[in-house]
Amino acid sequence: MFENLTDKLNGIFKRLRGHGKLTEDNIKSALREVRMALLEADVHYKVAKDFIESVKERAIGQQVLSSLTPGHQVVKIVYDELIQLMGSKSQELNLHGEHPTVILLVGLQGSGKTTTAGKLAVFLRSKGRKPFLVPADIYRPAAIDQLRKLGLELGVPVYPSVPEQDPVQITREALAASRQAGVDVLIVDTAGRLHVDEELMDELRRIKTAIKPAEILLVADAMTGQDAVNVAEKFNQDLEIDGVILTKLDGDARGGAALSIRSVTNKPIKLVGVGEKLDALETFYPDRMASRILGMGDILSLAEKAQAVVDEKKAQELEKKIRKDTFTLEDFKGQLIQIKKMGSLEEIINMIPGMGKIRKLMNVTEEEDELVKIEAIINSMTCAERFDHTIINASRRRRIANGSGTTVQDVNKLLKNFMQTKKMLKSFTKGGMKGFLRGGLGL
């Protein structure tokens, strides 16, 4: 998401920085281009207009025009205003008060509410909470079964709803049952419609009255752009939502919903869905999103992802192996698995500052395929071969290639890369960064 917007903004700011000194006309011309880029990204027209006015007011001040680096100053102002536009800072879920805390998920059909309910359970459990899922969508075929299967897969209890029950009755009884079950968060998955209608809203208002949720969260599909903003506005008017969960933020969306919802509804985006996996739900950080929109990367999110998948004890064991030169192909495979747990290669690259341009020169799909191929090759080796690569002779290489559906050349390439990696890691542990550079560059 935001790829086209990021490219256009970078082009505009590059031209702006090319001027030694800036005039009001330079800035106004650039901001007209920024406004067009925002509108093309499906940002609400009023939001784009107000945003440009705010930037212009600050950018044509004497402090910017007389600066030694006025182009950079304008970029900084745009960055600050983007953060402001998306809500200044992250907003935590309201989990205080009497337990169980009730979270009511609402939205249109197809926005991803049921899957998001499962993801939210995983997210809350990672924070030490005990979630309880409640299927209250009696209209969509198999909606109750879908949530039940998700709960079984995740090991999260699910209230045994039946399609013949009234949704208000389901939620009221589920709340009573949750108090006996020792859980502390109730996640209610409600029915959606293909469009906002009075019947849907009336049912949701009755559920709200019956269970008094601490959080009413609208689940909106980022791929629908302006429609997501209009839906958010309507749900907020009728239900007074507490925030938004924006799904499919990893998709090919233009980004307008993420930039517009906060301004139009005055309600924050609290969480974002960033992938299909059930752990792919994250807190929304306006500053990190602004950084990514402007092509500056998101190193904090990358560090958090790495921290989440790295086992501290295993990391220490790995360091000892590297120091003793006992790093094996099995360890190599383990590192690949950890990288894959962090997300897609493209997602990881996009978080690294300055890597946006390099990514365009890479074929990310081919790189992803290469990782799959490497794992298949190592899986085709015997335990002895994985722990001692030196015994892999020509006949073993042919067998490994046949077993992994690859070629002998692929096996040779992996072994060569593995030995180079070992050399580089050893240099790093021996000589710090200087040794790492020497080893990595083969000096």
DSSP conformational letter for 270:
E
Pick 212 or 20 by higher pLDDT: 212
Domain membership of residue 91 (yes or no) is: no
Degrees, nearest 5: CA angle 290-291-292: 90
User: Among 72-76, 119-123, 346-350, which stretch is predicted with the lowest mean pLDDT?
Assistant: 346-350
Amino acid 438: pLDDT = 40
Residues 248, 339: one domain?
no
3-state secondary structure of 53: helix
CATH number of the domain where residue 349 is located: 1.10.260.30
Residues 150, 280: one domain?
yes
Residues 321, 277: one domain?
no
The tokens of 192 are what?
Answer: 């959606």
Last residue of a domain, one of 85, 117, 139: 85
* CB-based contact 242:94 (threshold 8 Å): yes
Amino acid at 123: F
Return d(Cα 63, Cα 70) in angstroms, integer.
9
Residues 323, 420: one domain?
yes
Residues 216, 176: one domain?
yes
Amino acid 311: pLDDT = 60
Domain membership of residue 94 (yes or no) is: no
How much is the pTM?
0.69
Q: How large is the average pLDDT for residues 39-50?
A: 90
Say if residue 309 is exposed, middle or buried (CB neighbours under 10 Å; 0-12, 13-18, 19+).
middle
Amino acid 235: pLDDT = 92
Residues 246, 175: one domain?
yes
Domain membership of residue 236 (yes or no) is: yes
Domain membership of residue 234 (yes or no) is: yes
For residue 98, what pLDDT band results from cuts at 50, 70 and 90? confident
Could you report the per-residue pLDDT of 165-197, keeping only the tens digit for each? 899 999 999 999 988 888 999 999 999 887 778
CATH number of the domain where residue 23 is located: 1.20.120.140
Domain total in the chain: 3
Residues 172, 289: one domain?
yes
For residue 353, what pLDDT band results from cuts at 50, 70 and 90? low
* CB-based contact 201:233 (threshold 8 Å): no
Residues 242, 111: one domain?
yes
Residues 373, 424: one domain?
yes
Amino acid 49: pLDDT = 94
Could you report the per-residue pLDDT of 249-265, keeping only the tens digit for each? 876 666 788 888 888 89
Last residue of a domain, one of 294, 326, 356: 294
Residues 119, 78: one domain?
no
User: Among 42-46, 92-96, 296-300, 387-391, which stretch is predicted with the lowest mean pLDDT?
Assistant: 296-300
Return d(Cα 316, Cα 329) in angstroms, integer.
17
Residues 397, 421: one domain?
yes
Amino acid 441: pLDDT = 35
Last residue of a domain, one of 37, 54, 85: 85
Could you report the per-residue pLDDT of 1-25, keeping only the tens digit for each? 677 888 888 888 888 877 767 788 8
Residues 180, 307: one domain?
no
Most confident listed range (56-70, 84-98, 145-159): 145-159
State which H helix or E strand residue 185 sits in: strand 185-190
CATH number of the domain where residue 237 is located: 3.40.50.300
For residue 219, the enclosing domain spans 101-294
Domain membership of residue 239 (yes or no) is: yes
